[in-house]
Amino acid sequence: MTRTREICLRKHPVGSLGVDDFGIVERELAAPDKGEVQVRNLWMSVDPVTRLRMNRNDDPNIAPPAFALGDVLDGGAVGEVIASRDPAFAIGDLVQSWLGWREAFNAPASSLQKLDPGGLPPQSFLGAAGATGLVGYVGLVHVGRPKDGEVIFVSSAAGAVGLMVCQMAKAMGLKVIGSAGGPDKIALLREIGVDEVIDYKAAGDLTAALTAVAPEGIDIYFDNVGGEHLEAASMPGGRLPVSSFAVRFRLLMARKLRQAREISC
């Protein structure tokens, strides 16, 4: 048998995460059944949506669903097959799954995606070569429809998707304005060649800060956060790819509806 450790949610966090919010469970992993594959994880993705799912939320209509206390957390992962009872997978194959936050696991072969690295490091499939890069590319190219010489404003520009969008936009000949919070993130944006950077934590009036670096306006706003950034970037005729704001909006609206129900009772 294979021994594995899994990280579970011990309590719903309030504010910043703490060690006491999590627990580690050790258990023996049986051999895989017919049609299953056993995988040892090599790399794991820690995504913003995982933090949202840790909040207390009893509404089954909210997607993605919240974790219950005691649940093993999940998320994107890349691992290596260490045992297989499915002919499509061999020992040593690299696979991608949504079963991170654990060292090893058994899963139906149908829930795994076999990877062909093609010279790329395996962890890149959790970033630039995976969903992060895909979200950035589709949002920028198919929604933003960029043209050489245009101006794009990217919020959360030092985040996973934001970094992808900034670099792709630069390669396409756009003037890139990136917003992030704090000197370390601002330095990172400058390092990758972002033309203008805004530290929204220090800027004060975000609309004024954006107007100062884009006096003639912007053509595309790639939204990762909503809120004040979305208000500052509002422009007639511009294109607006929306990334993670949709999930945040649904969660916020669900919370508002619950509060309204409580008040009306």
Instruction: Kindly report, residue by residue over 154-168, the tens digit of the pLDDT.
Output: 999 999 999 999 999
Quote the pTM value: 0.76
Q: What is the per-residue pLDDT across 61-86, written as a single tens digit (0 to 9) for each? A: 666 788 999 999 999 999 999 999 99
Place of tokens 């594995």: 4
* Closest C-alpha among 191, 189, 170 to residue 179: 189
Q: Is 210 helix (H, G, I), strand (E, B) or coil?
A: helix
Residue 200 and residue 132 in contact, taking contact as beta carbons nearer than 8 Å: no
- For residue 253, give both structure tokens: 């609206």
Q: What is the per-residue pLDDT across 177-208, written as a single tens digit (0 to 9) for each? A: 999 999 999 999 999 999 999 999 999 899 99
* CA 18 remoteness from chain centre: 21
For 214, half-sphere exposure in the C-beta direction (CA atoms, 13 angstrom radius) is 29
Which residue stretches of the chain are H helix?
A: 48-53, 131-137, 160-171, 183-191, 200-203, 206-213, 227-233, 245-264
**Lowest pLDDT segment from 2-16, 110-124, 190-204, 248-262:** 248-262
Other CB atoms within a 10 A radius of the CB of residue 94 amount to 18
Across the beta sheet with 104-108, the strand order is: 104-108, 36-44, 77-84, 94-97, 113-114
Q: Is 6 helix (H, G, I), strand (E, B) or coil?
A: strand
Q: What is the per-residue pLDDT across 33-47, written as a single tens digit (0 to 9) for each? A: 999 999 999 999 998
| pLDDT > 60? residue 95 | yes
Q: Is 172 helix (H, G, I), strand (E, B) or coil?
A: coil
* CA 73 remoteness from chain centre: 15
Query: What pLDDT, on the 0 to 100 scale, is given for residue 205?
Result: 93
Across the beta sheet with 196-199, the strand order is: 196-199, 175-180, 151-154, 220-222
Give bridge partners of residue 2 from the DSSP assignment: 29
Expressed in angstroms, the distance from the first to the final Cα of the chain is 54
